[in-house]
Amino acid sequence: MKLFESAIRISKSILLGDRRPVIFSGPCAIENEQICMDIAGTLNEISQKLDFDLVFKASFDKANRTAVTSFRTAGIEQGLGILSNVKKSFSLPVLTDIHESDQAATVAEVVDVLQIPAFLCRQTDLLLAAGRTGKAVKIKKGQFMAAEDMQYAIEKVKSTGNNNVFLTERGTSFGYHDLIVDMRSLPVMRQYAPVVFDVTHSVQQPGAQGGSSGGNRSMAPFLAKAAAASGVDGFFVETHPNPDKALSDGPNMIPLVKMHEFLEMLLDFWRLEKRSSFEI
């Protein structure tokens, strides 16, 4: 199996698919500016100690929550303002989701990476709009998609002339409020683009709490180590100072106080794989 060998540019200083790990991390949703600043500050310190590239992540809108009453965050105007402040305060590239084509150009004025949610990975107009911004585009593999079919999502973005596009694995849904990660999907998708493993949403249990999704963060270290050993280019890990009180995806997130230990463990496995790659 021939893997994708070219690095793609995340920002002026960060390449994905090179010999340096990239961690995409932050809270699931923008609850308020203080939480974002606290998380970004802590993650920035950890990145300097553990020597990895960091992209700060937070969503200005959670448009695909289970229930209509669920918290959807600050909205695009306030959310982009907060992301801009994080970017300036810590000199970090930032990532957020877009859900509609007409959001792409506005969001791209602030962020470095546009994330396409898993449920929308086949939406041609959304992918084209994201590609036309010229910013890096992160496409989550749909829970309903075969890994090999994600090549067509990549081709849609590249058709705009934007080659800075990559994929994210977050598991496959078989119903029954659970997701299963097939580690074979990682090398399959790495034929087409760099691949990031979504630690957080791979342990999500969609709709398991009735009007909201549940999760099992205790499984995160096991899946993360398996993905690192399988060979990926980076990791997506959401975190929060108090996940049990978080307004979105709390059961999946790693407590902020545990992030240094978690990422140190994860990067040890990632670097071991880079030293011991073997093909048949």
Domains of the chain: 8-272 (3.20.20.70)
Measure Cα distances from 103 to 76, 125, 179 in Å: 9, 12, 29
Predicted local distance difference test score (pLDDT) of residue 139: 98
Give the pLDDT band of residue 134 (cuts 50, 70, 90).
very high
Residue 65 has pLDDT above 90, yes or no: no
Q: What is the pTM of this model?
A: 0.94
User: What tokens were used for 93?
Assistant: 């590239």
**Beta bridge partner(s), residue 137:** 114, 165
**Mean pLDDT on 110-138:** 98
Amino acid of residue 262: F
Q: Which of 248, 265, 255 lies closest to 218, judged by CA? A: 255
**Mean pLDDT on 111-133:** 97
3-state class of 246 per DSSP? coil
Q: Which of 119, 122, 186, 196 lies closest to 148, judged by CA? A: 186
Predicted local distance difference test score (pLDDT) of residue 207: 58
Predicted local distance difference test score (pLDDT) of residue 174: 81
Residue range 214-244, pLDDT digits in tens:
678 899 999 999 999 999 999 999 999 999 9
More confidently predicted of 95 and 175: 95
**Mean pLDDT on 260-268:** 97
How confident is the prediction for the chain on average, in pLDDT? 92
